[in-house]
Amino acid sequence: MKQLIVLTGAAGTGKTTVQDYLTETYGIPAIVTHTTRLPRRGEQAGRDYYFETPASFAKLHLLEQVHYAGHQYGSSYEELQRAWQKGSICSIVLDTAGAQTYVKALGRQVIVLVLQLSSRTVQQHRMQVRGDQLVAIQNRLDSPENQRDWNFSLPPSGNFYQITNQDWKTTVKRLDEIMEKLS
Ligand SMILES: Nc1ncnc2c1ncn2[C@@H]1O[C@H](COP(=O)(O)OP(=O)(O)OP(=O)(O)O)[C@@H](O)[C@H]1O
Ligand SMILES: Nc1nc2c(ncn2[C@@H]2O[C@H](COP(=O)(O)O)[C@@H](O)[C@H]2O)c(=O)[nH]1
């Protein structure tokens, strides 16, 4: 059975960092999604995102799409198939609305890792360290989507795992335990 690891959680909780770890350590291919936001410092088109204009975004054939903090994001079935051609398991980074759409669409094939942080202060600090501009950080923190994702609570059933990503070594230990369970 093909499987998909969905990394979700509020802004700056470490979803992309965890995805990179899973790629580097376990060779798990990462699905690239589409967005109309501008690239952040260091982000590359085709690796981090497919960067779109509103016009090019409107032409895409997407499995799901959301508005998040003033921008559009979406993921395609074609990218999922492409990643699954490389192996039986792949990963994707989504907001919590997208995560729930994938659970509905793919059921038990989906394993959801919900990243959390202990405080809003740490959340803000993580975005500052990443180099986000102050205005962008404030916009992101105040967005209704971030508030929703911060308050996301795990459903009582399903393949959901909660990870508090404070100390990186502890996160790695938890990820290794989950990967062991999945293998
Ligand atoms: N355990 C950790 N300890 C310290 N810093 C961390 C840890 N995990 C991630 N980071 C750092 O926190 C910042 C935010 O991480 P990342 O970009 O992976 O978050 P994200 O959830 O993908 O964010 P967003 O949803 O805003 O795109 C990055 O600078 C990353 O290097
Ligand atoms: N539902 C979807 N959510 C997505 C997709 N691509 C990214 N995201 C999520 O959007 C927010 C903002 O991302 P950022 O890179 O601007 O910080 C974050 O929660 C991502 O996980 C997607 O295709 N669909």
| Distance (Å, whole) CA 37 – CA 95 | 15
125 lines ligand 1 (CB under 6 A): no
Judge whether residue 183 has pLDDT over 90.
no
168 lines ligand 1 (CB under 6 A): yes
Mutate to test the pocket of ligand 1, among 5, 7, 8, 16 (most ligand atoms within 8 A of CB): 16
Judge whether residue 77 has pLDDT over 90.
yes
ipTM of the complex: 0.98
29 lines ligand 1 (CB under 6 A): no
pLDDT in tens, 137-169: 999 999 999 999 999 998 887 799 999 999 999
CATH number for 169? 3.40.50.300
Least distant ligand from the CA of 92 = 2
Domain enclosing residue 7, as ranges: 3-182
Structure tokens at 28: 């798990």
Please give the residue that has the higher pLDDT: either 183 or 2.
2
Q: How far apart are the CA of 150 and the centre of ligand 1, in A?
A: 14
pLDDT in tens, 98-120: 999 999 999 999 999 999 999 99
Tell if the pTM clears 0.90, that is, is over it.
Answer: yes
pLDDT for the residue 112: 97
Q: What is the mean pLDDT of residues 116-143?
A: 95
Q: How far apart are the CA of 126 and the centre of ligand 1, in A?
A: 6
Pairing of strands 50-51, 110-116: unpaired
Question: What 3-state class would DSSP assign to 153?
Answer: coil
Question: What 3-state class would DSSP assign to 122?
Answer: helix
Mean pLDDT, the chain, as a whole number? 96
pLDDT for the residue 156: 80
Number of domains composing the chain:
1
Judge whether residue 67 has pLDDT over 90.
yes
What residue owns the CA closest to ligand 2's atom 12? 68
169 lines ligand 1 (CB under 6 A): no
Q: What is the mean pLDDT of residues 74-78?
A: 96
